[in-house]
Structure 1
Amino acid sequence: MAGQAKPLEKRAVVSSFIFHSPNGLSGKPQVALFRRSDKVSTYQHRVAPISGSISRSDPDPLTAAWRELSEETKLNPSNLSFWRAGKPFTFTDESVGREWTINPFAFRLAEGAEKAIETDWEHEGWQWYDQTTVVNNDSSEDEYVPHLRESLRRVWFESELSDAAGKALSSGLEKLHHDHSSGSHELTTIALEIFRHYVTQTKDYIFEAKWWDDARMAAWHLIKNGRESMGAATLNALLAILEEMDEIRRMDSYPEDTFERMITIIDHHLTGRKGRAGLVKDTFASYVRANFPSEGKQREKLTIVTLSASSTIRDSIIEAFASLDISALELRILESRPLFEGVNFAASILSRFREQFKNSTDKRLDVSIYTDAAAAIAAKDADIVLLGADRISKAKGVSNKTGSLPLVLSAKHITPTAKVVVLSELEKVNGESGIIDDEKHEDNDPREVLRTWRADGVKDVGHVEAASSSDEKSSSTVTVRNVYFEWIPLSLIDAFVSGEGVLSDAQIHEKANQQDELARWYFDSIPVRY
């Protein structure tokens, strides 16, 4: 039809902000912004972060961000580290015929690595800026690419918050990010405590609309930038809190005690978490009684194989053993490299057993620790393969510690009668809202693996370490991978045991759909301001 506007081209891009702290990590960081050259197709001579399109071959936006950084600045993981993701947003710019979806990211430049920045033809210069000044400077909007200030504020939330609230959230995120010892249940409790601390620092504007926007954005950051791989439980817990907060917010007028009510909601959820482990223990004991009956006489032995560091699994095993008419428990534990949590788990369960059964002579616990490579040997003649879950996806299955899938596959082959049981709360179910990315792998510090090799005196480990950390281009490379989690298909799981009982597929799907609805309702409506 004549005169009809041409449809806008939809383009998903990454916008990567590089931060550095002139006075070390304790100092206020600055952000690098780059002036686009006259050779680029859009927004020539405007100030921008490192940007580029997400291609179909990119498994996720973060991969695209790293690629663009390498191409346009020559920076790489040896001198740059990922810091935060910002919540994506979409806007249209009819002047260039595009609908842009922006995926903001923040990276930290290593100390002394400023000279490593080498710009390519897409930029004609760059400099350090005070990011809070950029976010609050609306007089220079024409100098920036569109919505640069919005992209920046989504990774530098400190510009939107008071010093106390910003510090509460940023320090909380650091605490979550570096916690590699707590399970997902414990991490969720920590995340709720951080959210509570953040809320206590926002009392002065509790009655303003901005308070609700900031609270939802703070919740999003706790989910995404804490430990995303273990964040499904945190997502569900914070959505439940936001839903109750929203009920107060939707009243005809805010009650005078609105702040106190908001804090009470968080406290109620924190208190409720303490009793859930007891429900899981009871359900597991009931499951064992139903599936491994003594048939009128005392069962001599129950054999459980596990790969876990979970206190819930530890206590469930002990409580089930105490309540069952079984005289001996054989517990086989995989060592769980590279941090050897299995060794700690063995010591913990021995201590718990000796404390609970110190006056008993009719209960015996035999613990064996196996190397991860001996999963098939450990699974022989087992009654139960018992695992935890950091996340449950209706599409991908169960995400748990790396080594879980080989153990399950070995058990299915070596001992087909063994029951594969997952102890998990329903809150660990993840939907398809896209907040928690089921395709994303958590690559952790390879030095954890290298330290183990060095301690064991592995020959030539120094050569491998040197090759893996070299910046020089070569036709041969070495990469040391330290992936913490892997997926176990739902079809390989015999039972999901939770505080709500033994979960059915229908319950898992219902929880995933409920999460999707709430996540889109509370997070997709966070407004674009700039």
Structure 2
Amino acid sequence: MAALRFCFLEKSHLRPVYRLNRAMCTKTPTDAPTGPYSGLPNLPPISIFRSQGEGYPSPATAQWHTEAQEKLIEGIRELRNDHTSGAKELATKAVASLVRIARIIESGLTGERSRPGEKIDHKDKSQLWWDAVRKAGWAISTYGRPSMGAAITVAILNVLEKQAKAGSAAAAGPGNELIGQRVQAMEEYLRDRVDGGQRQIGWNLRQFIRDKFLAEGVERRVTILTLSLSSTIKQALMTMLELEKGSNSPGNRQELMIDLRIMESRPLCEGAELARILAAQAAGKGCTHNLKIQLASDASVAILARDADIVLLGADRISGSGDISNKTGSLPAVLCAKSVSNKAVVIALSDIEKVAKPGRMDEHEEEDNDPTELVNAWSPQAQECISQKAWKEMVRVRNVYFEWVPANYIDHYLCETGVLCVDDIRKQSEWVLQAEQRLFGDVEGLNHG
């Protein structure tokens, strides 16, 4: 898909300028070497609105255009600066940003009045709304957080598909009413993401573990190795514990006991946060009997992996071939478990929306983040070296958040629809590609129309 080129001026200008040539659109200002938006390097100028012929939009139109575009940049900035949320949570934030933008555009178009000699009918308004919302969705999925782009893109595609169905069902109504119903459909999808939770994944995980590891009438402690802070894993484990508590009765010896081993997950120590949350929630729900937690440094992974039954990995992205991108440390965890515990089963626990369109692992750049997150844990002497010339010439501190685990190391993919194989992943990947082409394929033409 060809790259889009957009133009957008900050709010300090009276009006957005809509007719600039492509060379001007793509040139980076000399006073902003990292890009036109503060704190957002490599983000090109973006506009989600089409040009207004040879003239300028009215002040009222310019105001809501600017508001919508500011919400877009604000949403992209939020996705890029969030280094604690998992892919599922970021995808939900991306949808929330798009819904806010869609509502602003709807409100602006509802108040629009035709210019002298012009007539804007309801059909035109619906098309203007749809063009702008699609371009906003494309920009969020493309520039929001590339390392977690699969989940974000599929969530955006899903919410756009949701409103399209609502639009088809209400196509006979007036334009403003039609737009309102489409926005309501988007808001409904967002509520379902927030309120629906991931209990089905937890139910599926519990059933898988029971079928594979629990013999009839025998109590057994299942050892699980994991890392980082995946909202999917966190919710699935809590769902399992709640289901176990609800199903246990006096004299029932077939009880699922979990020995959870968590890698600390430097540099932000998300693993420690996962342990804190699970301990607090398990205590609050009276599930402490079924869960014991060990927490250790990432360097202790071989010790944590001893006798592991399961390596439970989240997934920020699943390639069309079944490779998974997850928190750095995932591949060492898998390799250690396969080496020191020959019974270990590797499970990628994920929403199906994490599956990306077809592509290879090496097509995605590594997300190298602020090295200060690592340096903060060093001794004062080591930190003092950073400013020295010799250090700067010889040493590069890397803080790579995500790494790939090849598909041949993954035994099972478990999502809300059940246990998947690589062929299932490929089919979902093709659907993502087709949906992206259907919804975003002509966005560049719309921008320059």
Alignment counterpart, residue 491 of structure 1, candidates 388, 408, 432: 408
Which structure has more helix as a fraction of its residues? 2
> Residue 378 of structure 1: CA displacement?
1.0
Correspondence 1:289 to 2:210? yes
> Residue 293 of structure 1: CA displacement?
1.4
Q: Does the CA contact (< 8 Å) of 1:385 and 1:420 recur in 2?
A: yes
Looking at structure 1, the residues matched to 354 and 83 of structure 2 have their Cα atoms a distance apart, in angstroms, of 18
The residue that corresponds to 1:338 in the other structure is: 267
> Residue 327 of structure 1: CA displacement?
6.5
Correspondence 1:172 to 2:75? yes
Looking at structure 2, the residues matched to 221 and 167 of structure 1 have their Cα atoms a distance apart, in angstroms, of 13
Alignment counterpart, residue 189 of structure 1, candidates 81, 89, 92: 92
Query: Unaligned 5+ residue runs, structure 2?
Result: 56-60, 110-121, 245-253
Alignment counterpart, residue 240 of structure 1, candidates 147, 153, 158: 158
Instruction: Provide closer, same or farther for how the CA distance between residues 253 and 323 of structure 1 changes in structure 2, counting only shifts above 3 A.
Output: closer
Alignment counterpart, residue 226 of structure 1, candidates 144, 160, 184: 144
The one of the two structures with greater contact order (alpha-carbon pairs below 8 A, sep at least 6) is 2
Mapping of residues 370-449 of structure 1, within 5 Å: 370-395=296-321, 397-432=323-358, 438-449=363-374
Percent identical: 30
The residue that corresponds to 1:8 in the other structure is: none
Aligned-residue Cα RMSD (Å) equals 3.9
Amino acid corresponding to residue 348 of structure 1 in structure 2: I
Looking at structure 2, the residues matched to 162 and 30 of structure 1 have their Cα atoms a distance apart, in angstroms, of 9
Q: Does the CA contact (< 8 Å) of 1:308 and 1:401 recur in 2?
A: yes
Amino acid corresponding to residue 317 of structure 2 in structure 1: R
The residue that corresponds to 2:115 in the other structure is: none
Correspondence 1:464 to 2:386? yes
Q: Does the CA contact (< 8 Å) of 1:391 and 1:398 recur in 2?
A: yes
Alignment counterpart, residue 508 of structure 1, candidates 422, 425, 430: 425
Worse-matched range after superposition: 409-418 or 327-336: 327-336
> Residue 308 of structure 1: CA displacement?
2.6
Residues 180-211 of structure 1 deviation map (CA, whole Å, 9 limit, x = unaligned): 12111111221111111111111243743332
Query: Unaligned 5+ residue runs, structure 1?
Result: 1-11, 32-42, 52-64, 86-104, 108-130, 140-157, 471-475
Q: Does the CA contact (< 8 Å) of 1:468 and 1:480 recur in 2?
A: no
Which structure's CA Rg is the greater one? 1
SS in structure 1 opposite 2:41? strand
Amino acid corresponding to residue 230 of structure 2 in structure 1: S
The residue that corresponds to 2:58 in the other structure is: none
> Residue 27 of structure 1: CA displacement?
5.3
Alignment counterpart, residue 311 of structure 1, candidates 228, 231, 239: 231
SS in structure 2 opposite 1:83? coil
Correspondence 1:272 to 2:155? no
Looking at structure 2, the residues matched to 420 and 464 of structure 1 have their Cα atoms a distance apart, in angstroms, of 39
Instruction: Provide closer, same or farther for how the CA distance between residues 511 and 371 of structure 1 changes in structure 2, counting only shifts above 3 A.
Output: same
The residue that corresponds to 1:83 in the other structure is: 41
Looking at structure 1, the residues matched to 65 and 391 of structure 2 have their Cα atoms a distance apart, in angstroms, of 40
Mapping of residues 105-120 of structure 1, within 5 Å: 105=44
Q: Does the CA contact (< 8 Å) of 2:167 and 2:182 recur in 1?
A: no
Q: Does the CA contact (< 8 Å) of 1:83 and 1:106 recur in 2?
A: no
> Residue 478 of structure 1: CA displacement?
2.5
Looking at structure 1, the residues matched to 434 and 321 of structure 2 have their Cα atoms a distance apart, in angstroms, of 17
Instruction: Provide closer, same or farther for how the CA distance between residues 247 and 280 of structure 1 changes in structure 2, counting only shifts above 3 A.
Output: closer
Amino acid corresponding to residue 223 of structure 1 in structure 2: S
SS in structure 2 opposite 1:459? helix
> Residue 166 of structure 1: CA displacement?
1.6
Amino acid corresponding to residue 216 of structure 1 in structure 2: R
SS in structure 1 opposite 2:311? strand
> Residue 380 of structure 1: CA displacement?
0.9
Instruction: Provide closer, same or farther for how the CA distance between residues 159 and 483 of structure 1 changes in structure 2, counting only shifts above 3 A.
Output: farther
Q: Does the CA contact (< 8 Å) of 1:467 and 1:478 recur in 2?
A: no
Amino acid corresponding to residue 226 of structure 1 in structure 2: G
Number of equivalences: 406
SS in structure 1 opposite 2:271? helix
SS in structure 2 opposite 1:430? coil
Instruction: Provide closer, same or farther for how the CA distance between residues 460 and 159 of structure 1 changes in structure 2, counting only shifts above 3 A.
Output: farther
Looking at structure 1, the residues matched to 304 and 160 of structure 2 have their Cα atoms a distance apart, in angstroms, of 45
Q: Does the CA contact (< 8 Å) of 1:380 and 1:415 recur in 2?
A: yes
> Residue 50 of structure 1: CA displacement?
7.1
SS in structure 2 opposite 1:303? strand
Looking at structure 1, the residues matched to 354 and 201 of structure 2 have their Cα atoms a distance apart, in angstroms, of 14
The residue that corresponds to 2:249 in the other structure is: none
> Residue 335 of structure 1: CA displacement?
0.5
Amino acid corresponding to residue 487 of structure 1 in structure 2: W
SS in structure 2 opposite 1:163? helix
Normalising by structure 2, report the TM-score.
0.78
Residues 65-102 of structure 1 deviation map (CA, whole Å, 9 limit, x = unaligned): 9xxx9xx999689xx965354xxxxxxxxxxxxxxxxx
Residues 324-357 of structure 1 deviation map (CA, whole Å, 9 limit, x = unaligned): 5346432111010110111111111111221222
The residue that corresponds to 1:4 in the other structure is: none
Which structure has more strand as a fraction of its residues? 1
